[in-house]
Structure 1
Amino acid sequence: MNPYRLYLVTDEQLSVDRLQHVVGEAVAGGVTLVQVREKHGDVRAFIERAEAVQDVLRGTGVPLIINDRVDVALAVNADGVHLGQSDMPAAYARRLLGPDRLLGLSVESDGQLLEAESLPVDYLGLSAIFATPTKTNLIKEWGLNGLSRALTQSSHPIVAIGGIHAGNLREVSKTGVHGVALVSAICAAPCPRSAAAMLISHMGE
C-alpha cells in the first residue's frame, strides 16, 4: 500500500479531543498517513497531542509522522519525522531514527529538489503546488507543470502540498504524484470521514 496517498497534516488549533475525533474519522474515510504538527514550541503539549493521535491510530496500520521534532518522534515511538529545510539535517535525523522509520523532507525550490537526491530520506513534500493565503513566505509556486517536472527529476516519492482541495485534486492526481497532503480540507470539514472519502474518490485509481 502507498502510505502517502492521502496524507493528513493536523491543525494545531484543534483541542486534543477534537484532534482525536478528526483523526479517527479521517482514517475511517480513507486517510493513509497522519502528520502531527505543533508549531508553538511547547514540547510537552506536542508529546501530549502526538500520544493522543497515537492512541487513535493504534491497530489501524496508518503511520504517525511527527513534524520537525526528532526528539518527540522518539519519545512517543512514532513511525517517522517530517523535516523542514531549517530543521535538523536529514543525515543526523536518520542516524537518530535508525533505518526503519520514515523520514520526509520539505522541498521548496529546484535547488532543494536536486540536493535531496543525495539525502537519506524516504519521501519529499513538494511545497507549494498552489499559493495559499496562509503561506506568506512562499519561495515557489510549482503549479501542475512544476509538479510534473519534479516527478521526473526526483528518485524519491513526492507528496504535493499547498492549496490543494476537492476542486483541483483530480488534476493534481493526474500528474502521477505519489500523494497529496491536506490540512483544512479535512480538519475544517463538518464531517472529516465524508471529506476524506470524497477526496479519495476525486483521486481515482
Structure 2
Amino acid sequence: MNFPNWRTYLVTQASVSAGRSTPEIVRGAIDGGVDAVQLREKGTDARSRYELGLEVRELTAEAGVDLIVNDRVDVAKAIDADGVHVGQSDLPVAVARDLLGPEAIVGCSTSTVEEAERAEADGADYLGIGAIYGTSSKDVAADKDGVGPERVAEIADAVSIPIVGIGGVTADNAGPVAQAGATGVAVISAITAADDPTAATEALATAVETAKELEERGEKQ
C-alpha cells in the first residue's frame, strides 16, 4: 500500500478561481510547496477533464507532486495520474484498486468512523475527512455545519492510514485539524480563490507544520 504524507493538498475547481485557469492555479500552488493536487473540476465533461488533466499532469510530474483524480478512474488511468479519490457514491475502493493496480494511490471520502474503518479495510491508502468546518462544495459537505476536528480525532484513533481534513479549512483554522490527527489538509477555495495562490499555499503549509511541531511537543495552539 501507499502511505502519502501530504501536508497541503489542492483540490481544483475553476469556477472559484476568479477567471484564472486551473493550470495557473496549480502552478502557483506548486511554487508554494503543495504536496498533492486533486483534479476535481465538477461540472465538466470527461473529454474536458481529460484534456485539462494532461496539462496538470505535465506540471505535477515536472515538480514531483502527486496528482489524484476525483471520482473518474478512467480519466486517472488515461492521464497516468498517481491515483484516484472516490466518494461514498462512487466506485468502491477495492474496484478502483483493481482497475488502477497496486501502485496507484486510492483515497476515499468519509465522515464517520464506520465509513473510515470500511475504507481502510477495503484498501484505501488515505482518507479525506469532512466537511470539517462546513463548505459550499457539495461533494465534501457531509455535514453542512462541519464534523469538526473532534471527528478527525475519533477517526485517527480508529484507523492507521493517513487522514486529510477537508471542508472550510484555511490557514487560520488548519492547526486544530492537524493536531487532531490529520496528516494534512485539503482545500479548494483557500488556494484557488486567493489573490496569491503561492502565498496562500505557503501560509497553509506553515500552519500545518506549526501545529505538528506543537503536537510533537505535547502542546496545543
Is residue 83–residue 104 contact of structure 1 (8 Å, CA) maintained in 2?
yes
The 5-angstrom pairing of residues 69-108 of structure 1 reads 69-108=72-111
Separation in 1 of the partners of 2:168 and 2:55?
Answer: 27
Is residue 140–residue 167 contact of structure 2 (8 Å, CA) maintained in 1?
no
- 1:148-184 per-residue CA deviation (whole Å, 9 max, x = no partner) reads 1111111221110011112211222222311100000
Equivalent residue number for residue 11 of structure 1: 13
Is residue 13–residue 40 contact of structure 2 (8 Å, CA) maintained in 1?
yes
1:147 alignment partner, SS class? helix
**Matching residue within 128, 131, 135 for 1:128:** 131
Equivalent residue number for residue 63 of structure 1: 66
Separation in 2 of the partners of 1:61 and 1:51?
Answer: 15
- 1:64-91 per-residue CA deviation (whole Å, 9 max, x = no partner) reads 1000001001111110000011111111
Equivalent residue number for residue 205 of structure 2: 200
Separation in 2 of the partners of 1:74 and 1:147?
Answer: 30
Following TM superposition, by how much is the alpha carbon of 1:31 offset from its aligned partner in structure 2, in angstroms?
A: 0.5
1:4 alignment partner, SS class? coil
TM-score, normalisation: structure 1: 0.92
Report the count of equivalent residues.
205
Equivalent residue number for residue 154 of structure 1: 159
TM-score, normalisation: structure 2: 0.85
Separation in 1 of the partners of 2:172 and 2:183?
Answer: 19
Is 184-193 or 39-48 further displaced after alignment?
39-48
Residue ranges of structure 2 left out of the alignment (5+ in a row) = 214-221
Q: Which amino acid aligns with 1:106?
A: S
Is residue 3–residue 63 contact of structure 1 (8 Å, CA) maintained in 2?
no
Residue 188 (1) aligns with residue 193 (2): yes
Equivalent residue number for residue 171 of structure 2: 166
Q: Which amino acid aligns with 1:43?
A: A
Residue ranges of structure 1 left out of the alignment (5+ in a row) = none
Is residue 159–residue 181 contact of structure 1 (8 Å, CA) maintained in 2?
yes
Equivalent residue number for residue 43 of structure 2: 40
Residue 176 (1) aligns with residue 178 (2): no
- 1:48-78 per-residue CA deviation (whole Å, 9 max, x = no partner) reads 1111111211221101100000100111111
2:175 alignment partner, SS class? helix
What is the RMSD of the two structures over their aligned residues, measured on CA atoms? Answer: 2.1
Q: Which amino acid aligns with 1:160?
A: G
Q: Which amino acid aligns with 1:189?
A: A
Separation in 2 of the partners of 1:139 and 1:194?
Answer: 29
